[in-house]
Structure 1
């Protein structure tokens, strides 16, 4: 895997914080030509200052046409990671149309949009590429106050399977990773309440939350030729949460 990424062009959405940032840096360390897009221009600027060879572009993934224009302008890629996402936490009885629309727009429609553009160019250039969509254990298990988020991640898993079916004949593999709670800055904040934290950890056989590098390692594998016969898979990174 060390040599696989050298010179490969990889696009990562939402790559300037959390899992996305960890992935972008790891790909860069392995010699990939990394491009990341995000709606956080200040964080993109900081990333660019630290890693000048990483290409960045600011885009609001909720804007279908702007996204298509910018992604198309970025050229041809060997791999794509759809990492950008939002999590609006609301009980079922309080979930709003605006929360639903926002979540689906970023977590689902943006994956469709970006992937269409990237896959089209892979096919035109006869690139046997790989796409990894970042889903969640929430696609497979009910989480309290996560009704809209769970729905969006279920859609991601289903869309991934169809992508794998239709893009497979072109040599393009499509998979998801489905993490549990990951200790990003946001994760530490959301799960800082002791009772809430302990309740979730009690459902994880390994009795801990995940770390960013543990998700990054799985994505790197699925992007690489080490996973050359793996497509349409939903890979839990959950310490056994879904096994219980």
Structure 2
């Protein structure tokens, strides 16, 4: 009998990215689950485990966590015994996950010439789950890289509206200006991202701010739709 694979906390994001259709189960109690859980996860308990074992396709990947990695190991073996082909559980459970995320949030800037923090990198990748987790663990939404850009700028690069909203809700400054005096609204306009321009305006971005070269977002608009949005907001 094959023992289910045990996954380290640091490997969870990559595993989930590689298995977007996975059944993600959390065997902690309802109160702990309500305080924090992976997006898309289902709470596993004595009332639903039989239905899951019998009804879910045996080819569907399964990831299970618990408090400290003990119950999840038992559940993982149970799923394997019922014929599930790809079952993993989290070593150390939710405690290991939260510790790993807290460490990532307070880690120094990534060793690249841009000075991006883990939150900036997650925003640039459009990884909404990682962004939410890092923010919950205390990541600094106001940190800037070597260009003076925040995570919100990188979220606009990825053009992920949900990540932009999450960062603004967490307190990211909409009108922050980087070393060139450019705002995220200027970037979105100059990159012809009308959906992001519209969202930023709805969230309260100021279209009248000028860069160091005295250009506004309207001056930088690279497409007709962006131009019309900014003209209407001016």
TM-score under structure 2 normalisation?
0.27
Structure whose CA Rg is larger:
2
Looking at secondary structure, tell me which structure has more strand per residue: 1
TM-score under structure 1 normalisation?
0.26
